[in-house]
Amino acid sequence: MKLDVLEAFLQEPHIGVIATLRRDGMPYTVPVWWLHKPDGIWITGTYSRVWCKQLLHDPRASLCIEASAPVSGHVEFDGRCEAFQLPDFDIWPISRELAEKYVGRRDPNNAAAVDAFFTNMQTEPRLLFRLTPEVTRAIDMRVYRGKREDREFQDKKKSEANAEPKPDIGDFHKRVSDPAADIKVIGTGF
């Protein structure tokens, strides 16, 4: 995905799916709201949510953001999350931005809905996580041609299919030794 396409993609209100780790190491996935900023990916949650408890125990996470419009593609971030909590950190400005992104959807007519949602958020036991990406993958499906290894495999199969077919001598010998073999079939291709 080209940088300008990626930047536009990350401004859209696509739902992300975060993968956290259970104590036994099994992954746990859940849809989340996220906000891309220069210092990382911000995600809002509450202390009672399973994935938030898991991130407080083990900060490793992956966030996958998939969309079909306006750009068909996906972006994935693997990294570690840092918790930001009241009173040490004012979580409300970023929480407000998340409400504006997902409830407001850049439409001024949704201002009352954003205000109501944000007011409700402030009554919940909220915290924020900042995912600092260590690995980023971004695919624009409009121009994606597959992984290099997959394209090499496809090219090899095409080359094999276009190669001149060779007669199967073993099949010829089986047919000749069979007295019931049709002589016209045996001669085909030779």
At 5-61, the pLDDT tens digits run: 999 999 999 999 999 999 999 999 999 999 999 999 999 999 999 999 999 999 999
Residue with token string 């995912």 = 131
- The Cα-based distances of 109 to 140, 176, 180 in angstroms read 31, 84, 84
- What is the C-alpha separation between 119 and 117, in angstroms, rounded? 5
* 42: three-class secondary structure by DSSP: strand
User: What is residue 186's predicted lDDT score, i.e. its pLDDT?
Assistant: 41
User: What is residue 159's predicted lDDT score, i.e. its pLDDT?
Assistant: 80
The enclosing H or E element of 138 equals: strand 126-140
User: What is residue 181's predicted lDDT score, i.e. its pLDDT?
Assistant: 47
Whole-structure pTM value: 0.75
User: What is residue 141's predicted lDDT score, i.e. its pLDDT?
Assistant: 83
Q: Which fold has domain 3-140?
A: Pnp Oxidase; Chain A (2.30.110)
Residue with token string 């994606």 = 144
- What is the C-alpha separation between 34 and 42, in angstroms, rounded? 5
Domain boundaries, the chain: 3-140, 148-187
Spell out, as residue ranges, where the chain has pLDDT lower than 50.
172-173, 175-176, 181-190
160: exposed, middle or buried (Cβ count in 10 Å: 0-12, 13-18, 19+): exposed
CB burial string 115-136: b at 16+ within 10 A, e below: eebbeebeeeebbbbbbebeee
